[in-house]
Structure 1
Amino acid sequence: MKNATDSQFRQRIAQVSARLMVQEGIEDYHLAKCKAATQLGVPNTRNLPSNSEIQAEILIYQRLFKSDTQPQLVQELRETAIQAMQLFKAFSPRLTGSVLLGTATPHSDINLHLFAHSPEEVALFLVDNRIPYELTDRKFRITASREINKTVNYPCYYFVAGDHNVALTVFNIDDIRWSPLSPTDGKPMKRADLPAVEKLLQANWIT
């Protein structure tokens, strides 16, 4: 009986975490879990759901409560993503994250991975095209060997395209052959090139 109760409570934390991530735009799974546990009156519990469990609840939440707006939102974000990918086509852009997966919220960034010999190439391109940007960095887990993963910082250029934020993470030119590990399930992140995103848009398909 205890195992069943623990499982139900774990699911409840996942459901509240999912709602917080959708409604408040929280992107950090751990932060969402902590806030959910606090709201449920168990801030110190160790019975926390996995990121994959929360992702599954996000899909359920959006289908139940956002079915009238979610397809249009994802369509709009993917249209903007395509425009950005066309602009940065010299850097072999790949779409990743919630816009690709169809779980984006109004708070979501459009996440593109670019590939260049140096980050300065992207910065110069932005300047030449008179695109104001903010430079920061993003942490990704990568597979250093068969048994070891490590966290690496990559430069990320933020700019605004219409009503949406675009995040350009710049990888080395040779890094196109592999993908960082997903924070959701620890597997290589899903990435899509321009033709694949255009196909998604034409099909109006949400994964």
Structure 2
Amino acid sequence: MKHQDMRRRIAHAAARILAEDGSLDYGSAKRKAARQLGAPDSGNLPDNQQIEEALRSYQAIYQTDETRAQLTLLRQTAIEYMEQLVDFDPHLTGSVLNGTAGPHADINLQLFTDHQKDVEFLLMRLPAAYQAGEYRASDTPGRIYPRFMIDDPRARLDLVVYPASELRNMKRLQADGSPRRLRLPQVRTLI
């Protein structure tokens, strides 16, 4: 019982950190929260689903109007980019999809194409600056995927480009049954 209470306290502290700062990922936020609460051992750390639930609660209490407006802006921005990237089967994922995006959230898009170089050619024609990099997925060790960060004034976009064939091998649902990613038609229904 003591461990469950500490996990709950860490989850709520991590949610507050994420909501107020927004620059940390779930793992960093829960470790920071554990240190603040004097429980640095990993046996007490909540899972990401517990943190997401605590973040939703925090936002519902303290950031209702602000969160809704920010989320709408982020989703509209995501739709604009997904429309421009439609040839690469874009999927929205992350906090903008699940509704927990805060003021510093990135828009995460996954692209699926067998013509990965064409993505960069398209990005060169867009007005917003971008940076190219690499993404190493934790669930596929040894695999490296092209990654592009777009510095749009409304929000930063994080694009990861996968081969088209990898989509059917990826998990479709989160542990709570919600979708991990959505295509453009489904994202439009979120607005």
TM-score for both structures, normalised by structure 2: 0.88
**Which of 81, 95, 106 in structure 2 is aligned with 1:109?**
106
Asked if structure 2 preserves the Cα contact closer than 8 Å seen for 1:20 and 1:26, the reply is no
Whole-angstrom CA distance in 2 between matches of 1:23 and 1:14: 14
User: Could you say what secondary structure the match of 2:151 adopts?
Assistant: strand
Asked if structure 2 preserves the Cα contact closer than 8 Å seen for 1:154 and 1:171, the reply is yes
Residue-by-residue CA offset, 1:11-69 (whole Å, 9 max, x unaligned)? 10111111112212144322112111111123235221111111111111111111121
Unaligned runs of 5+ in 1: 143-148, 202-207
Percent sequence identity is 34
Residue-by-residue CA offset, 1:80-125 (whole Å, 9 max, x unaligned)? 0110011111111111111111110111111111122243221111
Whole-angstrom CA distance in 2 between matches of 1:101 and 1:186: 11
Residue identity matched to 1:155: P
**Which of 28, 31, 36 in structure 1 is aligned with 2:33?**
36
- Once superposed, what is the RMSD of the aligned Cα atoms? 2.4
Whole-angstrom CA distance in 2 between matches of 1:198 and 1:37: 38
Residue identity matched to 2:145: Y
Paired position in structure 2 for 1:90: 87
Which segments of structure 1 move beyond 4 Å, counting only runs of 4 or more? 184-189
Whole-angstrom CA distance in 1 between matches of 2:13 and 2:131: 32
**Which of 178, 194, 201 in structure 1 is aligned with 2:184?**
194
Asked if structure 1 preserves the Cα contact closer than 8 Å seen for 2:77 and 2:154, the reply is no
Asked if structure 1 preserves the Cα contact closer than 8 Å seen for 2:135 and 2:145, the reply is yes
User: Could you say what secondary structure the match of 1:69 adopts?
Assistant: helix
Number of equivalenced pairs: 191
Unaligned runs of 5+ in 2: none
CA change 1:26–1:130 in 2 (3 A) is closer
Whole-angstrom CA distance in 2 between matches of 1:192 and 1:100: 8
Residue identity matched to 2:158: A
Residue identity matched to 2:183: D
Whole-angstrom CA distance in 2 between matches of 1:18 and 1:33: 8
**Which of 13, 16, 36 in structure 2 is aligned with 1:16?**
13
Q: Which is greater in Rg?
A: 1
**Which of 159, 163, 182 in structure 1 is aligned with 2:150?**
159
